[in-house]
Structure 1
Amino acid sequence: MKKRILQAIFIGFAVLANGVSQAQEVNPYDLLEQVATKTFTRIKAEHTKIEANPELLRTVMEEELLPYVDYNFAALKVLGKHFRTVPKEKIPEFIKVFRSYLITTYALALSYYNGQEVVFQPSKDVEDENTVTVRAVVKEPGRPDINIAFKLRKSNKTDEWKAYDMVAEGISLLSSKQSEFESILRQDGIQAVIDAMNNTINRPINLQQDNKG
């Protein structure tokens, strides 16, 4: 189940890349479907380079995805109630490391790429909406379908749509990270969470060869 969820996360974050900032001009339902093709085209074009140097997946994520993810909002959601009690001078560092942590998480998920198909739900009118959930199904021959959902919110200041969470097989990435870090925050404080994220960031990216071919 964990592997299937990681595979779904890979599909989800790749789909969200390359243009969510333009969503104020394009319906986000349509946009997510359009950018999937563009993102996968880049990955296929750079396949040889990525095979030789999997760390390039971090570059792909930083260039293609992070500009369109509301990582500040996500980071504060992960802190939850602890935002009021952690040292305020540590918040900027936490957000900065959380950004790099997301890059690593997305790069690890991207290592599952193997040409999967994504089928999106029909587009809906979002004229009066500030948040939307876009659902899709990941299809791969010989394997069960994987249900995923993308959560996006529209900025009150810029009207830009940005992604802040993805739910794979009913499990929210944001909620899972909040649960994972909550006990550390409560027992050891925010620096311990920062150190834990840095440990993940500092690990090399390895392609998931067992899912290739």
Structure 2
Amino acid sequence: MRRQLWVRLFAVFVLATSNLLAVPARAQDQTADAFIKHLSSEMLNSIKTDPASRVGNVPAIIALVDAKLMPNVNFKRMTSSAAGPTWRQMTPEQQKRLQEEFKILLVRTYAGALSQIDDVTVAVKPLRAAPDDKELVVRTDVKGRGDPIQLDYRLEKTPGEGSSWKIYNLNIMGVWLVETYRSQFAQEINAKGVDGLIAALADRNKSNAKKG
């Protein structure tokens, strides 16, 4: 898949989830499709009202993602899934460092793409789910210029009182984000080991930071 497509669609993902903290408390028990539909509506408002998102101001977007998106994504699960079986062999320090560098990689790689997203709508497809389902997929179509683009969310429901949905994977046109990185991580681990993977991500993040 072309890098440009990944960039644009991840930007849709960030925008679609950037207002999650603004959801009223009573919406915590929303169905998963209603949850995504609400966020998709908020996405359009973000595009229109957030000047930093429109111009792709990287520090502002990173702050936005850290404050509003990441607390509502199971990023530990996302990172461990990308690392595959090797995750269980890592030390706690290695797990922490990998998670930190992976987070920076995703945020910085796609932050500038927010300015590319305009004139789009998100259609949430009908969902068949039981009330007690704890994990499921919500499928959407992103419509703009050209053919609709498939964008699906894999969600889990957090346990306990006031439970809510969290995102832990994203499917763009049939390709899951975590599985894509799993292949890349495996190649790096096989060549240079876990510390080599972390070092490679850190170097890439430093390079991205210099480029702005």
TM-score range, shorter chain: 0.7 to 0.9
Structure 2 counterpart SS, 1:80: helix
**30-39 vs 104-113, which moves further:** 104-113
Task: State yes or no: 1:104 paired with 2:108.
Answer: yes
Provide the residue aligned with 1:57 in structure 2.
61
Does structure 2 retain, via aligned residues, the 8 Å contact 1:55–1:204?
Answer: no
Provide the residue aligned with 1:201 in structure 2.
205
The two structures, once aligned, show a CA RMSD in angstroms of: 2.7
Identity %: 20
**40-49 vs 156-165, which moves further:** 40-49
Shift of 1:123: 4.5
Describe the shift of the 1:86–1:54 C-alpha distance in structure 2 as closer, same or farther (beyond 3 A).
closer
Aligned length: 206
Does structure 2 retain, via aligned residues, the 8 Å contact 1:165–1:172?
Answer: yes
TM-score (norm 2): 0.83
Describe the shift of the 1:118–1:25 C-alpha distance in structure 2 as closer, same or farther (beyond 3 A).
same
Structure 1 counterpart SS, 2:29: coil
Does structure 1 retain, via aligned residues, the 8 Å contact 2:152–2:170?
Answer: yes
Describe the shift of the 1:89–1:205 C-alpha distance in structure 2 as closer, same or farther (beyond 3 A).
closer
Provide the residue aligned with 1:13 in structure 2.
14
* Per-residue deviation, residues 10-63 of structure 1 (Å, max 9, x unmatched): 212321332288664111211111122223323322226752734322122112
Describe the shift of the 1:13–1:49 C-alpha distance in structure 2 as closer, same or farther (beyond 3 A).
closer
- Which structure is richer in relative contact order (CA contacts within 8 A, separation 6 or more)? 1
Q: Which runs of 5+ in 2 are unaligned?
A: none
Q: Which runs of 5+ in 1 are unaligned?
A: 208-213
* Distance across 2 between alignment mates of 1:82 and 1:52: 35
TM-score (norm 1): 0.83
Describe the shift of the 1:88–1:125 C-alpha distance in structure 2 as closer, same or farther (beyond 3 A).
closer
